[in-house]
Amino acid sequence: MSETATPAKTDQKRAINRLKSMYPLRNIVQQDYIDTLKASSEGKPTVWSMLNYWEGDLPLKAMGLNIVYPENYATLLAASGAAEPFLDASDSDGFPTHMCGYGRSTIGYSYRMMKEHGGKIPPDAPLGGMAKPALLLGSGIICDARFKWFQSLARYFDAPEWCLEMPMMATYEGSEPELEDYQVKFLVKELKDFISFLEKLFKQKMDWAKLEELIDLAVKIHETTSNISEARKAIPGPMHATDFWSSMPPSLFFAGDMKVALKCYQDMLAEVQERVKNKESGINYPERYRLIFAELPPWHSLKFFDKLAEMGWNFVFESFGYHNPKPPDLSKYSDPCEKLARLSRNFMFNVFPEAKAEGIQNPIVETYLKIARGFKADGFFMHPLISCRAASCSLRTVQHWEQEKLDIPSLWVEGDIIDKRVFNPQEVLARAEAFEQTMDHYRKVRKSKGLDW
């Protein structure tokens, strides 16, 4: 008992059994920053883009533009422990401190670049930093505040901004089948305007053939990654959440060369399937509990998951917002913009039929119910963020329905994606043993109710 409660510090064995196939994928995004920087030193433009669920990524890549993702860069800032001076700079420029950690990092980065270093990259920026943007590609998808903070960057840069549109998916109304074509029509119009703007801005034509090719690659990548997710349902869980977080950029925003990425994901799928065959776990300790992580991870404290792994806590799935669903069949459409529109729109609409069947109002709840069933979860690790409305506001409801419908308890741990100053690992560890008893209890309850885990 006491061993599980206080993991021996002397234990040298890596607690998490990392996938070999994860490393090349992690390198892709890091290489991307280096290449982009090099390109900009050769006078090539750099685009700052927000996570846009592919409708923006692919046109930009088809035109051979170099893209960086400040949201992703913020996670690197946090992971390398370099975030604070950037957060403080944002606060000093008058932005409220309860704002998104990604936003505060990027605003702070831009402030320091333009106001403190005369347009040069701050010396303490990891991976060489992000070059000045030639275009700010904003988006309000899954979070309204996002386009607002890209809009605010106009304080520092004279780069033009474009805000991508996406119908709100998280509603019954939005999911009405009769609305699909009208939503797609809207997206197609937007995409055509966007692409013609790109052509005007960068004085080059869109390579439509290339775009088609990339859309096909995107579909293949997403097929592979959703197969990986499927394979992860095995017991013991073959792939730990931290491996997913390190390897997601090439599928989340298609970082790097998509052909290379596809190959890497195919390797990853093979390795995961191999593990499933051999009943090899994602942690180097017996899998005592299967946990789901919701929603965005504490990028500054990922090591913290080793401690939990040592206690036999296997994080078998995580962050639904970072996972692409199985891609739709696009073969019957000819217009690349329409293909793209349907690929992006697919991100969350596919949840609804089930949600309706179950009488659930909130698609995020439904998504997590599906995940919990599929992965036979013992518990949820809820990580509400002090600085993020979008990823936090539904967690209470998720907690409620997981408990209500599946008797799966939640461990509630407040924190932040970037600002480690509000996260207290000691606290969590002090509660871990009690939560194990809670998970034990509800295992019994589920069995008594005829659930099979």
Partner 1 sequence: MSACYLGIDIGAAASKAVVIDSQKRIIGGGVIPSGTNYVTTAAAVKAEALEQAGLQPADITFSAATGIGGRNAGADSYHGVIICDARGVNLTFPGARTIIDIGGQGSQVITMDENGRVINFNVSEICATGSARLLHVVARILQISIDEIGPLSLRATKPSSFSTSCTVFLETEVITRISQGDSPEDILAGIHRSIADKISGMSRGVTLEKDFATIGGGALDIGLVQAIDEKLGVKSLVPGNPRLMAALGAAVIASEH
Partner 2 sequence: MENATPALFFAGIDIGSTMSKAVVVDAQGTMRGYVVGPTGAEHRRRANKVMEDVLRTAGITLDQVAYIISTGYGRVNVPFADKQVTELTCHAKGVASLFPEVRTAIDIGGQDAKVLKIKNGRLTDFLTNDKCAAGTGRFLEVAAETLGLGLNEMGRISLQSDTPVKINSLCTIFAQQEIISRLSEGQPLTDILAGVYIAVTTRVVKLARQIKVEPPVVFTGGVAKNSGMVKAMEVVLGIPVLIPQEPLITGALGAAILARDEAFKLVQDGHYKSEKKQLSEAYIEFTEKNERKM
Partner 3 sequence: MVTATTKGLSRAHEIYANRGRRMRELRKSGKKIIGYICLYPPVEIITAMGMVPFRIFGDMSEPITAADRVSTTVVCPFLRSIIDLGIKGKFDFLDGAVGAHTCDIGMTTIIAWRDYIKDAPFTHLIDVPHTDHAPAVDYFEGQINFFKKHIEELAGEKLDQDKLKQACQLHNKQRKLVRELYDLRKSDPPKLTSMENLEVMVSLFSLPVEEGNELLEEVIKDVKERSIKSSQKKARLMVWGPVFDNTSLYELIESSGADVVVDDTCVGTRAFWADVKAPYDLHALAQRYLVDIKCPRTYRDTQHQETERDYDKDLDSRFSYIKKAVTDWHVNGVILQSVKYCDTHGYEVPNLRHYLDTLGIPSIYIEHDYSERSLAPIKTRVEAFVETLG
Question: Can residue 151 be called a binding residue for partner 3 (CB under 8 A)?
Answer: yes
In sequence order, what are the residues at sequence separation of 6 or more whose Cβ sits closer than 8 angstroms to the Cβ of residue 220? 262
Q: According to CB under 8 A, which one of 39, 82, 114, 145 is a site residue for partner 3?
A: 145
User: What six digits make up the tokens of 423?
Assistant: 């996260």
Give the binding-site size for partner 1 (rule: CB under 8 A).
27
In terms of CB distance, is 117 or 155 closer to partner 3?
A: 155
Q: Which does 91 bind (CB under 5 to 8 A by kind): partner 2, partner 1, partner 3, none?
A: partner 2
In this complex, which beta carbon is closest to partner 3, that of residue 265 or of residue 368?
A: 368
Among 202, 304, 412, 453, binds partner 1 (CB under 8 A): 412
Is 400 a residue that touches partner 3 (CB under 8 A)?
yes
3-state secondary structure at position 33: helix
CB under 5 to 8 A by kind: which of partner 3, partner 2, partner 1, none does 147 bind? partner 3
Tokens in use for 294? 């919701």
Residue with tokens 């998970």: 439
Q: Which residues in 209-276 belong to E strands, given as ranges?
A: none
- Binding piece for partner 1, criterion CB under 8 A, among 112-120, 238-246, 303-311, 429-437: 429-437
Helices 208-231/336-349 angle, 10° precision? 20
Q: Does 421 bind partner 2 (CB under 8 A)?
A: yes
Binds partner 2 (CB under 8 A): choice among 104, 112, 345, 420 = 420
From CA 160, how far away is CA 225, in angstroms rounded? 34
Q: Binds 430, which of partner 3, partner 1, partner 2, none (CB < 5 to 8 A, cut-off by type)?
A: partner 1
By a kind-dependent CB cut-off of 5 to 8 A, residue 421 interacts, out of partner 3, partner 1, partner 2, none, with partner 2
DSSP state of 324: P
Binding track, positions 233-272, relative to partner 2; x by CB under 8 A: ----------------------------------------
Nearest-approach distance from CB 157 to partner 3, in angstroms: 8
Instruction: Name residues whose C-beta falls within 8 Å of residue 426's C-beta, 6 or more positions apart in sequence.
Output: none
Question: Which is closer to partner 2, CB of 92 or CB of 171?
Answer: 92
Residue 422, phi then psi, degrees to nearest 5? -110, 10
Exposure b/e, 3-24, CB count within 10 A at least 16 = b: eeeebeeeeeeebbbbbebbeb
C-alpha triplet 326, 327, 332: angle, nearest 5°: 140
Determine, following the binding rule CB under 8 A, whether residue 393 of this chain makes contact with partner 1.
no
Give the CA dihedral 253, 417, 287, 240, nearest 10 degrees. Answer: 20
- Residue 266 phi, psi dihedral angles, 5° rounding: -65, -40
Q: How far is the CB of 236 from partner 3 (least distance, A)?
A: 32
Return the one option of partner 2, partner 3, partner 1, none that residue 438 interacts with (CB less than 5 to 8 A, by type).
partner 1
Token match 């690349």: residue? 336
Closest by alpha carbon to 49, among 28, 67, 30, 31? 67
Beta carbon nearer to partner 2, 97 or 204: 97
* Residue written as token pair 């459409």: 333
* Beta carbon of residue 422, minimum distance to partner 2 (angstroms, whole number): 6
91 is a contact residue toward partner 2 (CB under 8 A): yes
CA distance 162 to 166: 13
Does 174 interact with partner 3 (rule: CB under 8 A)? yes
72 versus 387: smaller Cβ distance to partner 3:
387
Quote the CA–CA distance of 304 and 71 in Å, as a whole number. Answer: 22
Question: Six-digit token pair at 346?
Answer: 């697919």
Q: Does 168 bind partner 1 (CB under 8 A)?
A: no
CA distances (Å), origin 317, targets 81, 233, 249: 25, 8, 16
- Rounded CA-CA distance 124/130 in Å is 12
Partner interacting with residue 154 (select from partner 1, partner 2, partner 3, none; CB below 5-8 Å by kind): partner 3
Q: Which is nearer to partner 2, 91 or 407 (CB)?
A: 91
Residues in contact with partner 2 by the rule CB under 8 A: 88, 91-94, 419-422, 424, 426-427
- Residues at the contact surface with partner 3, assessed by CB under 8 A: 93-96, 98-100, 103, 138, 140, 143-145, 147-149, 151-152, 154-155, 157-161, 163, 165, 167-168, 170-174, 176, 179, 182-183, 186, 189-190, 193, 197, 200-201, 361-362, 384-390, 392-397, 400
